[in-house]
Amino acid sequence: MAGDGKWLVCRVGETLYGLDLARVREIVYRPKVTGLPTFRPPVAGMMDWLGRQVTVLDLQGDVPAAAEPRPVVVVDSGPDRLGLVVDQAGEIITRQSGQHLELDPLLAERLPEVESAFEYGQEMIFVLDTSRLTALVS
């Protein structure tokens, strides 16, 4: 399980995800993402980030393109970098010990990129394991 510490909370659709702040490199608010027709969702395309091509994932899947580009959070995913399309990059919160919730096995099977969950206020936040995101590209 990911450790306690600081987390960037992002909203994708109606779902809140927590990203370990130590793995977040940048939030790009007006990204230029080039689509890749040979890949299916969740691969949204590629973007140039600091002179490197980064694969961009959209966990919302196959949704109509927004009128305005949605922000992309660039994260470490093992030795690679990936971009995650989000609807909103929210606040940075501190996750305390004891807030961890085990995922139901059926939910865990449907969301392999989610490591665990925790409650924050009245909200459920799903913890993304960024090292598992690379598997979504293949």
Per-residue pLDDT of 6-42, as tens digits, reads: 889 999 988 899 999 999 999 999 889 988 888 887 8
**Of 134 and 13, which is predicted with more confidence?**
13
Read off the pTM: 0.84
- State the average pLDDT for the chain: 83
Q: How sure is the predictor about 4, in pLDDT bands with cuts at 50, 70 and 90?
A: low
Integer angstrom CA distances of residue 128 from 23, 81, 82, 93, 108: 11, 14, 13, 15, 12
Q: Which amino acid is at 38?
A: T
Q: Domains in the chain and their CATH numbers? A: 5-136 (2.40.50.180)
Interval 48-101: pLDDT, tens? 999 999 999 988 875 556 567 889 999 988 788 999 999 999 889 887 655 667
